[in-house]
């Protein structure tokens, strides 16, 4: 197949920032793209060949969109899987496959998958509803504190809560859920694995999420993770094992915990470009977005090594500000060496909304970390 400057069409479900950064690569290779998104102001409206407004959860909308393209991918997991299954059965290439997506979309099924395949993960129990969960606590089958996770629809920290006392039950929605043992961990790590339909596999280096010491929020994604080589090798090997069992096509971001005694436990996966890989645009020989494109088109995968150390800082809307976004002091951070802002193109800011990210690269990771802190302290997403 001749993808470049041809009639070949790639469809992308979802038109957010991940899609937008993927479009940069499709433009670089001159690959035709169709994008479907419910919002008329989606970041992908500019940069795609054709933009369609419509629901990603509606069977007919997704099916009719998919029938127009040669290869279909997605930048968000919350899409109509039945439509993907029908499209696949009718010969459209859907990558990652609806089968992979089904395994991942439900966090209970995803946990069972790890257990079945002997992949280390925190102990858990599945429940059909809150009543079942409460009974288990009453019966001392599970003990406080534990981590509650809604099995479906969770996103960016929604659908996850630490339950420390029985009062916390009262605010939980009555949905299918899991209760997971709380793991005291040293580090939260991630590894992105890419796989092609032909079976070529490559892993990116291990990255580290550094949390704010008080607010339990990721502040920096750091590549390479500042951990022992043996731990990094183990994390990469486990991510590879996860990837091999999912048998996915495209990117798979594997999030993991490094426990106090240096065990690696898989937390969850995402079958798409991932926040933990944004650093790769500036730091890696091949960005995760180019790599995803290479994978789903069954082209040779690129080098996943880094040219330099990379740190990513998320730009989220500041509390107390809702309205037309202003990036205060952005000209100041541009005056620092190796700083690249990525502004997603959302016009309205809201508290904690992901509006962009900033990458800091440097030969010296300590210097990158220093600049990252300065970036974090300087820029404000307000209105």
By the criterion CB under 8 A, which residues form the site for its own copies?
A: 2, 4-6, 20, 24, 27-30, 46-49, 285, 290, 294, 299-300, 302-303, 307-308, 325-327, 330-331, 334-335, 337-347, 361
Q: Closest approach of Cβ 203 to its own copies, in Å?
A: 16
Cβ proximity to its own copies: between 21 and 209 the closer is: 21
Is 268 annotated as belonging to a binding site?
A: yes
Cβ proximity to its own copies: between 252 and 379 the closer is: 379
Residues 197 and 100: their CA atoms lie apart, in Å, by 13
CB of 224 closer than 8 Å to CB of 203: no
Strands 218-223, 207-211: pairing is: antiparallel
**Token digits for 6?**
């041809």
Is 180 annotated as belonging to a binding site?
A: yes
Q: Closest approach of Cβ 301 to its own copies, in Å?
A: 9
Is 99 annotated as belonging to a binding site?
A: no
**Token digits for 228?**
């022992």
Is 182 annotated as belonging to a binding site?
A: yes
φ, ψ at 282 (rounded to 5°): -95, -30
Cβ proximity to its own copies: between 136 and 382 the closer is: 382
Q: How many residues does the chain have?
A: 383
Is 183 annotated as belonging to a binding site?
A: yes
B/e letters for 43-58, b = 16+ CB within 10 Å, e = fewer, are bbbebbeebeeeebeb
Cβ proximity to its own copies: between 146 and 327 the closer is: 327
Is 86 annotated as belonging to a binding site?
A: no
Cβ proximity to its own copies: between 28 and 212 the closer is: 28
CB of 237 closer than 8 Å to CB of 337: no
Q: Closest approach of Cβ 194 to its own copies, in Å?
A: 13
Q: Closest approach of Cβ 147 to its own copies, in Å?
A: 36
Beta bridge partners of 10: 33, 71
Element (H, E) at 25: helix 17-28
Beta bridge partners of 323: 349
Most distant CA pair in the chain: distance in Å? 64
Q: Closest approach of Cβ 37 to its own copies, in Å?
A: 16
Strands 50-53, 32-37: pairing is: parallel
Is 107 annotated as belonging to a binding site?
A: yes
Angle between helices 17-28 and 288-296 (to 10 degrees): 70
Cβ proximity to its own copies: between 106 and 284 the closer is: 284
Q: Closest approach of Cβ 71 to its own copies, in Å?
A: 15
Residue set of the binding site for ATP: 107, 149, 180-183, 188, 267-268
Residue set of the binding site: 107, 149, 180-183, 188, 267-268
């Amino acid at each position: 197949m001749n993808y470049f400057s041809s009639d070949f069409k790639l469809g992308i479900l979802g038109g957010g920032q991940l899609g937008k950064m993927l479009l940069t690569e499709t433009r670089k290779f001159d690959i035709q793209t169709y994008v479907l998104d419910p919002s008329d102001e989606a970041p992908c409206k500019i940069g795609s060949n054709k933009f369609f407004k419509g629901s990603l959860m509606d069977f007919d909308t997704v099916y009719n969109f998919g029938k127009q393209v040669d290869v279909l991918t997605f930048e968000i997991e919350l899409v109509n899987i039945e439509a993907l299954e029908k499209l696949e059965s009718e010969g459209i290439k859907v990558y990652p496959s609806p089968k992979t997506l089904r395994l991942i979309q439900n966090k209970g099924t995803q946990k069972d998958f790890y257990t079945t395949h002997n992949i280390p993960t925190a102990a858990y129990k599945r429940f059909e509803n809150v009543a079942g969960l409460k009974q288990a606590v009453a019966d001392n089958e599970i003990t406080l504190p534990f981590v509650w996770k809604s099995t479906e629809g969770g996103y960016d920290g929604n659908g996850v809560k630490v339950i420390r006392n029985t009062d916390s039950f009262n605010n939980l929605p009555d949905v299918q859920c899991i209760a997971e043992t709380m793991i005291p961990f040293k580090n939260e790590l991630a590894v992105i694995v890419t796989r092609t339909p032909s079976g070529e596999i490559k892993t990116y280096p291990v990255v580290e999420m550094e949390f704010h010491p008080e607010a339990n929020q990721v502040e920096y994604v750091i590549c390479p993770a500042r951990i022992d080589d043996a731990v990094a090798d183990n994390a990469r090997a486990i991510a590879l094992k996860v990837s091999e069992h999912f048998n996915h096509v495209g990117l798979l971001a594997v999030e993991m915990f490094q426990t106090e005694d240096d065990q690696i436990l898989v937390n969850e996966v995402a079958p798409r470009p991932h926040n933990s890989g944004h650093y790769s645009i500036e730091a890696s020989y091949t960005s995760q977005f180019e790599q995803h494109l290479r994978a789903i088109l069954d082209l040779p995968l690129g080098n996943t090594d880094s040219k330099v150390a990379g740190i990513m800082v998320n730009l989220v809307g500041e509390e107390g500000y809702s309205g037309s976004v202003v990036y205060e002091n952005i000209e100041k951070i541009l005056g620092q060496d190796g700083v690249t802002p990525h502004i997603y193109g959302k016009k309205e800011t809201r508290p904690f909304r992901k509006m962009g990210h900033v990458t800091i690269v440097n030969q010296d990771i300590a210097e990158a970390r220093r600049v990252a802190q300065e970036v974090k302290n300087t820029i404000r997403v307000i209105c």
